[in-house]
Structure 1
Amino acid sequence: MQFTDVMARLHDGRQLCFDHWQIQPGEYWAITGTNGSGKTALSCLFADELRLSHGQVSGLPQSVAYVSLEAQAAQIEFERKQDESDLNDCPDFGTRVRDLLQPLDAQVNHWIDALSIRHLLDQGFRALSTGESRKVLWINSLRQQPDLLVLDEPLEGLDQNSRHALSDELERIQQQGQAIVWVANRLDELPPWITHVVFMHEGQMLYCDRKATVLAQPEVAGLMHFDRDLAPFPEAIHQYDLAPEQPLLRLTDVSIRYQERTLFDQLNWQVEPGQHWAIQGPNGCGKTSLLQLITGDNPQCYRNDLWLFGMQRGSGETIWDIKKHIGIVSASLQWEYRATTNVLSTVISGLYDSIGLYQATGDSDKQLALQWLELIGLRDKANQSLQHLSYGEQRLVLIARALIKQPPLLILDEPCQGLDDPSRQLVLSFIQRLAQQQRVTLLYITHLADEIPAAIQQRLQFDLNDGYSQIRISTD
């Protein structure tokens, strides 16, 4: 493959441009760089999906399969559009996993067992957790046997065992000659078989050479290093009337069941103000379902004994009575945020608990949102469309949206997903400061132990066995 004198306009008005790039047989390239640098746009060249204003391209592969957070979001949106729940008067969980992965030949069955998803074959795609759906799309891409496999943040959303299993499978198919391009925010996740690296920044190809040469560049180290002081948080403008002697959450003998499967049961759990929790466990164990009980996004909250902010669920409270006390960051929220809106309105919408902004706002709301955008380094993109930002930049905007009202309870479901190293360190600094201030209580989900700030002392651990989770509570 060869690219010469390439120039293309990006969504935000910048130009992606470089002089020359050539990929020879036997070379394994990674595209890396900062959030919003043009990494994903560059990878779209392989499938001729980026409109060029200038340049020449030759030697493109006949078939290209993409594995990315964006492709996962597109599949979820497709399944949502096929939803026939209203017509059938029963929940529609989407296309069965078995049907998505047909034919179930020996190779597909090998991947099903390697990624431990055989128990999911008869479940609908929309009923899967974020990590489970990612595994299914992984196998769906691999079974196509493409001429080129483009892996954009391939390990995001996977638990540790799944990361190891997938890394082993990728190394196996790489040794068999499968052409692969790896797109990465984190340099420490590049596999050892990567031979060459492109480093992007602000739409420019800064370096394009052998891996060791590029990673040794001082400019690369500087751009991927977080070295600025964290500015003070803006003053909170919301006041919450909560009884200090009341726990924020109290769950008694709580269970979640889907059809014939019991995900977990007899959970007794209480969260006191200022008591921060890390919630851990493998893909599909029930972490997200538990959070959806708390936010009211799972209807099983009404048949369980839940007290939230001094209110018992099902006692006449509205969903807004609950949501006004909660801020949330999650992949599902990011996929739901399909409203046509700019970055500033997205952050302001956190004050009103809405997906999009549907009412007039005052100057104080706008100034507060601009302060949060300044903190995350995206103030210059306040008037850009949210959908035109990179996945990592969108995630930073949604973090600002969750923090703007500094709620009593902040739910962070893998907040660092899709972030480059400097942005990841920025967000972890936010979390550490919030935990130390104790005005906001944190429920924090991550698969990576090194992303748990020291101030988070409580643990809710899910242990999954044959589709059923046992839950352990501990304190560091």
Structure 2
Amino acid sequence: MQTWAILGTNGSGKSALSCLFDGDLVLSHGSSKGLPSNVMYVSLEAQAKQIEQERREDESDLLDRIDLGTPVRAFLEPISEVRHWISLLRMEHLLDQGFRSLSTGETRKVMLIRALQAKPDLLILDEPLEGLDQVSRRVVSEGLAQLKHNGQAIIWVANRLDEIPDWITHIAFMHDAKLLVQGTKEDVIASPEVIGLLHFDQALPDFPPPPKGRKVLPNHQALVEMTDVSIVYGERVLFEGLNWCIKPGEHWAIEGPNGSGKTSLLQLITGDNPQCYRNQLMVFGMRRGSGETIWDIKQYIGLVSASLQWDYRASTNVLSTVISGLYDSIGLYRATGDVDKQLALQWLDVIGLRHLANQSLQHLSYGEQRLVLIARALIKQPALLILDEPCQGLDDPSRHLVLAFLQRLAVQRMITLLYVTHQPKEIPEAFVRRLEFDGNKTLRIRGDI
């Protein structure tokens, strides 16, 4: 029996092609037939839509309380039908947690389990391993292989060639909204067209100069100092007892399983987690809770993360999105001059998306949006660049380009980088320091020299 994967470059149309199977798109011409009636779709976009729905329900709630969203248990009722998957993915302790309190990887697992619970005629998995830690990747891969063996029809949609399972027999390769090559996996992977598109051999372009008025800290000034820091949600302790100092030019890779507290830690620094005020925390020489504003903090920070991408709901074009990084805003709410526009266009040249400058950000693919947000974070060349899984949703060439950026930035030492990843092999060699979460309330620092 044939099992297909849809592979392609960012913005190629592979997700749109997969949406035809569940009737999400209306054909402008041509026809389709034999489509299954019960289709479940797991994707980064579907995950974002669910989080957006949770937020809308919270905003409509007039109660004076913090709503962490629908309990996971309510998403997965009846629990007995998916108890096996809940156990495999180590989700038992999260059943009474609100959906919005979960990490990116944890919400990903919930979406996958709910799709499996529906026992679909066809299961469409668009980048199903993105955001998952190494153990969860292995568990999901093995579980899906068993489902396939038991007769479950699956279509795998991917940017990354190295994540296509062994049990995929055929590939449809998309590029520039066209079905470029199709056939057996071996033949497609070996085709010159595919090899050419997935091979990264371009010279790394020069970075544009920093903007005038770039905020610079004294060389001796520690960027972040944490003393006995902890993150606690109710009875759930993510970690405790963290003592950590980030000095200028010291780049850190941050690793750990889903839900261990990596994103919450970063949000302490950016000011997006209110627990920054109950901890002993110095950021850019300012004690949190001493009268500083969020803008005093954000002026020194560039950020790329899944939550930022989900939060970026402003109706804006690509050029304005990049410019907004100069002003730390979501959307652009001020008149900008030619200098800002030219700088933003230079960064769009660097990431290869200048031709999309006037396109709506929301009309881009997930991977293209991620590249735009990387340019947005880099445009002001901040003192501290925080990258929470920056390669999520990127095709092979774009991923190699971003990793080359990180290596160059790290070597230049003008910007200090924090890099969260579930892919140890993708940590650039200049990142000699590690902050490791073990998922059991403790952290380990390595390479602090």
TM bin, normalised by shorter chain, reads over 0.9
Give the 5 Å matches for 1:95-114. Answer: 95-105=70-80, 107-114=81-88
Distance in 2 separating the partners of 1:334 and 1:69:
11
Q: 2:55 aligns with which of 56, 59, 80?
A: 80
Q: Aligned partners of 1:356 and 1:340: how far apart in 2?
A: 7
- Mapping for residues 197-346 of structure 1, pairs under 5 Å: 197-237=171-211, 238-346=213-321
8 A contact 2:383–2:414 mirrored in 1:
yes
Q: 1:475 matched to which residue of 2?
A: 447
AA matched with 1:126? R
Distance in 2 of aligned mates of 1:227 and 1:350: 29
Corresponding residue SS for 1:58: coil
Residue 123 of structure 1 aligns to a residue whose secondary structure is: coil
Moved more, 232-241 or 298-307: 232-241
Contact conserved, 2:215 with 2:299, CA < 8 A, in 1? no
- Distance (Å, rounded) in 2 between the aligned partners of 1:420 and 1:394: 12
Q: C-alpha distance in 2, partners of 1:126/1:38?
A: 30
Say what the alpha-carbon RMSD is for the aligned residues: 1.0
Q: CA deviation at 1:464?
A: 1.2
Match runs of 1:312-461 below 5 Å: 312-461=287-436
Gaps of 5+ in 2: none
Conservation of the 8 A alpha-carbon contact between 2:76 and 2:82: yes
How far apart, in 1, do the equivalents of 2:167 and 2:46 lie? Answer: 25
Which of 97, 100, 104 pairs up with 1:126?
A: 100
Per mean C-alpha deviation after superposition, the further-off stretch among 174-183 and 205-214 is 205-214
TM-superposed deviation, 1:264: 1.2
Structure 1 Cα separation of the partners of residues 401 and 207 of structure 2:
13
Matched, 1:52 2:22: no
| Amino acid across the alignment from 2:157 | V
- TM-score normalised per structure 2: 0.98
Counterpart pick for 1:169 among 139, 143, 147: 143
Other structure's SS at 1:149 match: strand
Alpha carbons 1:85, 1:91 under 8 Å: kept:
no
User: Following TM superposition, by how much is the alpha carbon of 1:441 offset from its aligned partner in structure 2, in angstroms?
Assistant: 0.1
Structure 1 residues without counterparts, runs of 5 or longer: 1-25
Which amino acid is the alignment partner of residue 424 of structure 1? R
- Tell me the distance in 2 between the aligned counterparts of 1:321 and 1:442: 19
SS of the residue corresponding to residue 58 of structure 2 reads: coil
Write the deviation string for residues 51-100 of structure 1: whole angstroms up to 9, x where unpaired: 21211211000111001000000000010011169622221111000010
In the other structure, the counterpart of 1:190 is 164
Distance in 2 (CA, whole Å) between partners of 1:273 and 1:188 is: 35
Q: What are the superposed Cα offsets for residues 139-181 of structure 1, whole Å, 9 maximum, x if unpaired? A: 0000000110000000000000000000011001100100000
Instruction: Return the offset for 1:48.
Output: 1.8
Show structure 1 runs of 4+ deviating over 3 A.
none
Kindly provide the amino acid, as one letter, of the partner of residue 180 in structure 1. I
Aligned partner letter, 2:76: L
Q: 1:241 to 1:432 in 2, by over 3 A?
A: closer
What letter is aligned with 1:132? Answer: E
Report deviation, 1:239: 2.5
Return the offset for 1:450.
Answer: 1.1
Q: Would you say the 8 A contact 2:216–2:383 is kept in 1?
A: no
CA contact (8 A) 1:347 1:398 kept: yes
Question: CA offsets, 1:342-396, max 9 Å, x none?
Answer: 0000000000000000000010000000000001000000000000000000000
Other structure's SS at 1:464 match: coil
Residue matched to 2:438? 463
Q: Quick one: which amino acid aligns to residue 103 of structure 1?
A: P
CA drift at 1:241: 3.8
- Whether contact under 8 Å (1:29, 1:198) holds in the other structure is yes
Cα distance per residue 1:190-227 (max 9 Å; x no partner): 10110110001101111111111111101101100111
Distance in 1 between the 2:32 and 2:242 partners?
58
Secondary structure of 2:403's aligned partner? helix
User: In the alignment, is the contact (CA less than 8 A) between 2:305 and 2:388 conserved in 1?
Assistant: yes
Q: Find 1:156's aligned residue among 130, 133, 141.
A: 130
Structure 1 length as normaliser, TM-score? 0.93
Residue 117 (str. 1) matches residue 69 (str. 2): no
Q: Give, in whole Å, the separation in 1 of the partners of 2:171 and 2:336.
A: 46
Shift in alpha-carbon separation, 1:457–1:138, aligned structure 2, 3 A: same
Cα drift, residue 44 of structure 1: 0.8
Distance in 1 of aligned mates of 2:248 and 2:241: 23
1:423-475, CA deviations, whole angstroms, 9 ceiling, x for partnerless residues? 0000001100100000000000000011100001110000013xxx2100010
- 8 Å CA contact 1:242–1:310 kept in 2: the answer is no
Q: Which residue of 2 aligns with 1:91?
A: 66
Matched residue SS, 2:111: helix
Matched position secondary structure for 1:346: helix
Task: Identify which range, 51-60 or 159-168, moves more after superposition.
Answer: 51-60
The answer for the alignment partner of 1:5 in structure 2 is none
Match of 2:14 in 1: 39
User: For the Cα contact (< 8 Å) 1:342–1:386, is it kept in 2?
Assistant: yes
